[in-house]
Amino acid sequence: MLEKNLKSFQHMFEYAVFKFLVAVAAPLSYKTVYNLGKKLGEILYRFGGKRKRIIFTNLEIAFENTLSYKEKKNVARNSFIHLVVSILQCLWLKIDPENRSNELFTEEPEGLDVIRQCLERKKGVFILTAHYGNWEAMGIRHGYLDVPPLHSIARKLDNPYLEKEIFLFRSASGNKVFYKDISPLKLVRVLKNNGCVAILLDQNTAKGGVFVDFLGKKAATARSIALLSLASDAAIVPMFCVATGEGRYKIRYGPEIIFKPSGNKEKDILDLTQICADFI
């Protein structure tokens, strides 16, 4: 009972902090949010502790001696800054997502015609993306474009209060959210209705994945996008959030991932997953 009460208190405290930060960010300009995020990111980098060590370990694994220590340090520092800026931008977006996403995405999306051409086949589209740029803000902006909304797959948060807020945020522009325990049949239904299913493929898969090369190392990667694309003939189109400077971004779609199956199901799943990982 005590443990349950402590957990409940923790959830309420986290929720109160979240609401406070939204209230603080609400009246700020996009520029102020960006500058504040940069300063806070610098501070967190200096006192990063365990998180900083994890970043440096990953940089060593991925780049080994191809980057100097100074270059790795710069990447780590910018990683902290970008993360804090992205979080503050999402809090800021929550108040008026349509107009404020216009302020963050000032350039026209690149490659939107690729999505439209693929949709003309009436087979649906898999959106291949990753934790790159401000991917949450990118999803919001996509929902306001003249294409079908995203059906994204996410992990449900442990905190039910925050989960509700995040769900409302992610669906604010018409997008749908599925959870990781979803039946594949629901994804197939979206594709049959010529919809868009978004999958962030740059995460380690605890079970059911395939091992492919990622940054020079074998990584357990979800096979769902390859499996369902091969089964349904749905197109696979990358979608990435590219920073244009000063806390602003541009959405880049395409090019379509082209793959010719060999007829060997397991080999095709592995090869197509590898192509997707290579693109990321």
pLDDT tens-digit readout, 156-175: 999 999 999 999 999 999 99
**Is the model's pLDDT at 214 over the cut of 70?**
yes
**DSSP-assigned letter for residue 110:** B
pLDDT, position 48? 86
Assess contact for 182 and 199: CB atoms under 8 A.
no
pLDDT, position 23? 96
Q: What percent of the chain has pLDDT over 90?
A: 87
The contacts of residue 122 (CB under 8 Å, 6+ apart) are 194
pLDDT, position 144? 97
**C-alpha span between 246 and 255 (Å, rounded):** 26
Prediction pTM value: 0.92
Assess contact for 95 and 26: CB atoms under 8 A.
yes
**Is the model's pLDDT at 207 over the cut of 90?**
no
CA 200 to mean position of chain CA atoms: 6
pLDDT, position 253? 98
Instruction: Please report which confidence band the pLDDT of residue 199 belongs to, taking 50, 70 and 90 as the band edges.
Output: very high
Strand partners, 253: 239
Instruction: Please report which confidence band the pLDDT of residue 184 belongs to, taking 50, 70 and 90 as the band edges.
Output: confident
Assess contact for 106 and 248: CB atoms under 8 A.
yes
Q: What percent of the chain has pLDDT over 70?
A: 99
Q: What would the mean pLDDT of 7-27 be, rounded to a whole number?
A: 94
pLDDT tens-digit readout, 221-269: 999 999 999 999 999 999 999 999 999 999 999 999 999 999 999 999 9
Q: What would the mean pLDDT of 126-141 be, rounded to a whole number?
A: 97
3-state secondary structure of 64: helix
Q: Among 111, 144, 131, which Cα is nearest to 235's?
A: 111
Pairing of strands 217-221, 210-214: antiparallel
The contacts of residue 225 (CB under 8 Å, 6+ apart) are 126, 128, 199, 201, 236, 272, 273, 276
**Is the model's pLDDT at 1 over the cut of 90?**
no
**C-alpha span between 167 and 82 (Å, rounded):** 22
pLDDT, position 2? 64
Alpha helix stretches (DSSP H) within 147-245 = 160-170, 184-192, 224-232
